[in-house]
């Protein structure tokens, strides 16, 4: 039996995957870096600097460390322009209900986000009080797919990782959940998230009762 559910934020609770992708596309267009059509899927769950490395894969010139810092900051300013406008309407449909249902069933909830913007997002979305514990990118050293963030969430809740269920929309996130010794629920396509124990089309389909027996 599970004792806690650890949720990813971007693409699971908050409708931000498209905002991240749009900000990267705006930056890429400005520096003439061609992007593949399916780049959005590769950027999910990947931290800011690793995302930049992906965006620069087809770039026509090299960028040194200082330039990369500036590019990552520029992308973040484009992203923040949109996030500053966020409100509860930018929760993914069914997200609040999914987290609330976990608490109503007597389990604990945590948030494990690779984003440095997670505190701002939580405040804008008005859902901070739904989580017993929050880990964001500011509190960890190793990004997904490393297990650190999910292990920190379990430790913060005081629950064994094996008693936690992790919910993620990114392949890197599913790998992080598994490396932490948790079961994984993927939100998205079977094609991208086939490694998860269960895959749901969206968070609205989340039903804790379906995972009663690990
Ligand atoms: C999430 C998103 C990624 C993003 C990462 C870092 O994991 O899925 O697309 O790159 O957070 O976000 P940040 O807000 O710190 O740039
Ligand atoms: Mg995500």
E strand spans, 93-188: 108-112, 133-135, 164-168, 183-187
Q: What is the structure's pLDDT at 204? A: 98
Q: What ipTM score was computed for the predicted complex, to two decimals?
A: 0.98
Binding residues: 8-10, 24, 43-48, 51, 75, 113-117, 144, 168-169
SS3 call for 199: strand
Rounded to the nearest integer, the mean pLDDT of the chain is 96
Q: What is the structure's pLDDT at 189? A: 95
Q: What is the structure's pLDDT at 213? A: 56
Tell me the backbone φ, ψ of residue 107, rounded to 5 degrees.
Answer: -95, 160
190 Cβ inside 6 Å of ligand 1: no
Q: What is the structure's pLDDT at 1? A: 86
143 Cβ inside 6 Å of ligand 1: no
For the question of residue 90 being annotated catalytic, the response is no
SS3 call for 50: helix
Q: Which protein residue has the closest C-alpha to ligand 1 atom 1?
A: 45
Tokens coding 36:
């593949």
Q: What is the pTM of this model?
A: 0.95
């Amino acid at each position: 039996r599970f004792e806690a559910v650890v949720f990813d934020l971007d693409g699971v609770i908050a409708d931000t995957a498209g905002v991240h992708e749009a900000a990267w596309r705006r930056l890429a267009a400005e520096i003439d870096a061609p992007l593949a059509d399916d780049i959005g899927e590769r950027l999910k769950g990947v931290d800011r600097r690793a995302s930049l490395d992906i965006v620069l894969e087809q770039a026509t010139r090299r960028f040194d460390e200082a330039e990369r810092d500036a590019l990552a900051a520029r992308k973040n300013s484009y992203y923040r322009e949109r996030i500053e406008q966020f409100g509860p309407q930018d929760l993914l449909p069914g997200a609040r209900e999914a987290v609330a249902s976990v608490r109503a069933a007597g389990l604990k909830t945590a948030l494990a986000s690779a984003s440095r913007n997670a505190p701002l997002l939580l405040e804008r979305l008005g859902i901070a009080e739904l989580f017993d514990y929050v880990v964001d990118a500011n509190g960890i050293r190793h990004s997904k797919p490393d297990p650190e963030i999910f292990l920190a969430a379990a430790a913060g809740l005081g629950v064994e990782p094996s008693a936690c269920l992790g919910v993620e929309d990114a392949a890197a996130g599913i790998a992080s959940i598994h490396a932490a010794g948790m079961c994984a629920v993927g939100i998205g396509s079977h094609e991208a998230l086939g490694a998860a124990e269960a895959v749901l089309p969206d968070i609205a389909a989340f039903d804790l009762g379906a995972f009663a027996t690990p």
